[in-house]
A and B are shown apart, each in its own frame.
Chain A
Amino acid sequence: MAEKSLGQKLLGTWNTKTIVAVAIGAALFGVLMVYGGIPVTTNTNLTTAMIIPVVVGAFFGPLPALVAAGVGNVIADLIGGWGMWFDWSIGNGIAAFFVGLLPVYGAYVTEGVFNWKHALIYALCVIVGNGLAFGVVTPIFTTIFYGGDLNVTFIQAIAGSISNIAVELIVGIPLMFILAARSKSRTNLKEEE
């Protein structure tokens, strides 16, 4: 595979396959957010949905992960019917961007490349991304959009990021190894000359 430039890696390739995958990712994100969660505090769930951006990011790159999480959150708001929380959608999108950086630092999970070094960078990205998204971005938008109290929002954001980080690390890393192993067993075939 030809080496792509950094910009291309960040944007991902937007062909029909990516669009369909992002759509399915968004739908999965929405369904899991509504039905696959364990409530922690208000507005935040210990939700398995946060795995979806990891998978989309691993397959297609960070920007598709961002779109999948953002659209997915809007869909979750619509089917869950708890009102539109654009602040959390934006926050989730930004967290998903960081989480989905996998191909940028060379973890090509689709080609079976994922080792402990990648897992370490992944863990860092997860922590930084969630911290930035829910510690800074979401509280700012909450106060601008909904007039939520900054103190309460911040506590919710901390609870949300900790549960997201926990899910993305405890579930995400083993899942990446499983996916990489699966892909490896399928990609070691070589075309004969």
Chain B
Amino acid sequence: MNNRFVINYTPGPTFLHQLSGFTKVFLFIVMTVAIIATYDVRILWPLCIISIAEIVSMKPNWKPIIFMFLFTFFTVTIIGNIMLFVVSPDAGLNNVGTETILWASASGRFYISKEWLWYIYVVWVKRTASFASVMAFALMTTPSEFASGLNKCGLPYKVCTIISLAYRTIPDIANDFVDIRNSMMMRGVELGKKAPVGKRLKNHVTLLVPLIMSSFGKVGNIANAMDLRGYGKNKKRTWYAEHEPTKYDKIVRGITIALGIATIVYILWARIIDPWPAKIWAPFVDKSAIQQVSLEESFFLFRWLKGLFNK
């Protein structure tokens, strides 16, 4: 189980690892906002490539990353798109604004349009960019740097302590979890695929009670130890993990600020100054041909409610 973790607890040797916590957190926040803000593949691909370049530059252990990527790809993308095909084949029209049907079933209930394919492509790029930026951040940051960086961004330090402490206890909890699971399995509690879902859930619960008891049993000890060292006495707190910004920190912060300004300018430009009428930009769609679809028509619950009221 431990080899599946991607979190670092000690800073690594490469360039990005050496940056200070605040630089990393700041870069991550700006990247996340930029990815969330846009549906434009012309913006998303560069963001995605920056994140992938970050990951490559850190020379990580690729095995867990590829495993996670494939797992996510399978669950979110493939199953999600099959669901999307069944539930809303009109997603292309709703998000891109036009509809060019490539294939339709005999009844006309299910169909695939060029815009639908474009929509799932854009969402896939967006998710991959999001995945890559999270992965890059998780690989380059140690929990203490994460906490100190967030504190420097203005989050109260008690919340930051929660985050770093939570990370700190994960390996302990994972070890306890494995110990308890092994001892349960030795007593014949089936947790694998052999048992039916209901039974498996029940068996997972029998695992849960000792885990909760042992984990929350430690609370008193840890809290006393922290109190004895004077935790929470003052309004402010310094961080062992945070160091003075180096030359590289300043360069990366400069790039991040530029990226942030570019994101804000882009949002202003794309939403207010020259808005594209549909949610997603597509190269093959003419701006004048786009039709607006209201929320009532695209969302089945509203459609159903409307039908109910009209009766």
Q: Does A134 contact B (CB under 8 A)?
A: no
Contact B131 A148 (CB under 8 A): no
- Per-position binary interface string of chain A over residues 75-88, scored 1 when its CB falls under 8 Å from any chain B CB and 0 otherwise: 10111111110000
Q: Does A46 contact B (CB under 8 A)?
A: yes
Chain A residue with the shortest CB-CB distance to B200? A38
Q: Does B291 contact A (CB under 8 A)?
A: no
Q: Which residues of B contact A39 (CB under 8 A)?
A: 75
Given contacts A15-B232, A79-B170, A83-B130, contact A149 B162 (CB under 8 A): no
Contact A81 B64 (CB under 8 A): yes
Taken together as a complex, chains A and B put the C-alpha atoms of A59 and B215 apart, in Å, by 14
* Chain A interface, number of residues (Cβ within 8 angstroms): 55
- Per-position binary interface string of chain B over residues 51-71, scored 1 when its CB falls under 8 Å from any chain A CB and 0 otherwise: 000000000000011001101
Contact A151 B126 (CB under 8 A): no
In A16-30, the 8 Å CB interface with B consists of 16-17, 19-24, 26-28, 30
Contact B299 A151 (CB under 8 A): yes
Contact A151 B88 (CB under 8 A): yes
Given contacts A19-B162, A31-B174, contact A149 B135 (CB under 8 A): no
Contact A51 B126 (CB under 8 A): no
Contact B166 A26 (CB under 8 A): yes
Q: Which residues of A contact B131 (CB under 8 A)?
A: 81-83
Contact A81 B211 (CB under 8 A): no
Contact B36 A149 (CB under 8 A): no
Q: Does B264 contact A (CB under 8 A)?
A: no
Q: Does B280 contact A (CB under 8 A)?
A: yes
Give the shortest distance, in Å, between B153 (CB) and chain A (any CB).
Answer: 15
Q: Which residues of A contact B79 (CB under 8 A)?
A: 41-42
Chain B residue with the shortest CB-CB distance to A46? B201
Contact A79 B5 (CB under 8 A): yes
**Number of A-B pairs whose CB atoms are under 8 Å?**
189
In B77-109, the 8 Å CB interface with A consists of 79-80, 83-84, 87-88, 91, 94-95
In B270-311, the 8 Å CB interface with A consists of 279-280, 295, 298-301
Q: Does B218 contact A (CB under 8 A)?
A: yes
Contact B83 A41 (CB under 8 A): yes
Q: Which residues of B contact A27 (CB under 8 A)?
A: 165-167, 169-170, 173, 215
Contact A35 B84 (CB under 8 A): no
Given contacts A28-B173, A42-B83, A75-B170, contact A48 B127 (CB under 8 A): no
Taken together as a complex, chains A and B put the C-alpha atoms of A106 and B138 apart, in Å, by 41
Q: Which residues of A contact B166 (CB under 8 A)?
A: 23-24, 26-27, 30, 71-72, 75
Additional A-B contact list (5), CB under 8 Å, known A24-B215, A79-B6: A15-B223, A26-B163, A42-B83, A46-B197, A84-B134
B residues adjacent to A (C-beta < 8 A): 1, 5-7, 32, 36, 39, 64-65, 68-69, 71-72, 75-76, 79-80, 83-84, 87-88, 91, 94-95, 122-123, 126-127, 130-131, 133-135, 137-138, 158-159, 161-163, 165-170, 173-174, 177, 197, 200-201, 204-205, 207-209, 211-212, 215-216, 218-220, 222-223, 226-227, 231-232, 279-280, 295, 298-301
A residues adjacent to B (C-beta < 8 A): 14-17, 19-24, 26-28, 30-32, 35-36, 38-39, 41-43, 46, 48, 51-52, 55, 59, 67, 71-72, 75, 77-84, 145-152, 154-155, 167, 171, 175, 178
